[in-house]
Chains A and B, each alone.
Chain A
Amino acid sequence: MHEMGIACSILEAVERERIIHPGCRPTKVAVRIGRFAGVDGDSLQFCFDAMVAGSSQAPLELHVEAAENDELDIAWLELDELEAIQ
């Protein structure tokens, strides 16, 4: 129900990672969603894609992994190393 807010939090976290890894571009972020986290994976995917489309963070993919309990964690981030700009 609050998947848009969750998508915002994920994108903010990705942005923080981008800042602390200069020279890299985030391409995919993985989240783990527990059965009792109160977050629907499909709905989160929809919100995430809608927010990324046309933004400076595009292209960025969301990978959703199912988990137990009420976990709601960012598991990992895939970073592409950019060529040094002359």
Chain B
Amino acid sequence: MIHPIERKVLSENDRVAAGVRSRLEIVGTLTLNFIGSPGAGKTAFLERTLQLLPSGTSAAVLTGDIQTENDAIRLARHGFPVQQITTGGACHLDARMVESHLWEWRFKEFDYLFIENVGNLVCPTSYDLGEDGKVVVLSVAEGEDKPMKYPGIFRKAELMILNKVDLLPYVPFQPELACEYARTINPDIHIIQCSSLTGEGFGDWMAWLERRRIAKRHFSPNHEEAHLQTTFV
């Protein structure tokens, strides 16, 4: 007997991610999922971001790695709540890992939640974590053609951070070509060129972040009402 199923393989992950998304919606937290190769500079980028957040901003970071607490230790120096997710071998984060770590914070209201995925351009692309958007981090120490080689993440990301531009004088990397490839895969992708070392480009990035957060609050009709409900229940 053939029994039709017609369901996504990752439907269970998608179900958990939808739950995470609606809880984050209620507390109005802008959640971004950072995906990039190992060594693209995701942690340094987030460290600089945390340093530059205006005072009074609340933010939290979940950082994923196969082993070690090293990234959490680095990120925690900046005074924001951080949790390390060690996957113990899995090459990506999934929605259940994010959900269980957010329960540790009782789904507290933050302005921003940054999720640093495991360094990998392939697998993390397939797993919805309940985020508002994916940010792909590409560094100039890599090849310009990464967007063509790994189209999945460049297609799904709304923003590409072209990182480590301070190295441009020393490496044969053509930023225009990398941007062209990224736009070939995803014509709508927004691109910001940055250096976490010198701070170049962070003005644009911090402005983008603030705009994105305001847009989310503005366009999520349930936020104010849902927030009142959770506050007074």
**A residues in contact (CB < 8 Å) with B:** 1-2, 5-6, 9-10, 12-13, 17, 21, 24, 31, 36-39, 70, 72-81
Contact = CB atoms under 8 A, between A and B. Distances in A.
A72 B10 CA distance: 8
B112 to A, nearest CB: 27
A5 B123 CA distance: 10
Nearest to B155: A36
Interface of B: 1-13, 90-92, 94, 120, 122-123, 125-126, 151-152, 155
Given A2-B92, A2-B122, 9 more contacts: A6-B9, A9-B12, A17-B3, A24-B1, A39-B126, A72-B126, A73-B6, A74-B5, A74-B7
B3 A79 contact: yes
A74 B9 contact: yes
Contacts of A37: 126
A80 B155 CA distance: 41
Nearest to A74: B5
Given A2-B122, A74-B5, A36 B151 contact: yes
Contacts of B8: 72-74
B152 A38 contact: yes
B91 A1 contact: yes
Contact of B1 (A39, A73, A80): A80
Nearest to B123: A2
Given A36-B151, A38-B152, A81 B9 contact: no
Given A2-B90, A2-B91, A36-B152, A17 B13 contact: no
A58 B90 CA distance: 25
Interface of A is mostly: mixed
Among B8, B90, B94, residue most surrounded by chain A Cβ atoms (within 10 Å): B8
Contact of B3 (A1, A9, A10, A78): A78
Contact of B6 (A70, A72, A75, A79): A75
Nearest to A6: B9
A73 B7 contact: yes
Contacts of B155: 36
Contact of A12 (B1, B5, B12, B122): B12
A36 B8 CA distance: 15
Nearest to B7: A74
A5 B23 CA distance: 26
A13 B6 contact: no
A13 B9 contact: yes
Nearest to B124: A2
Nearest to B153: A38
Q: Which 5 A-B pairs have the closest CB atoms?
A: A2-B123, A74-B5, A72-B9, A77-B3, A1-B122
B116 to A, nearest CB: 18
Contacts of B126: 2, 37-39, 70, 72
Nearest to B90: A5
Contacts of A74: 5-9
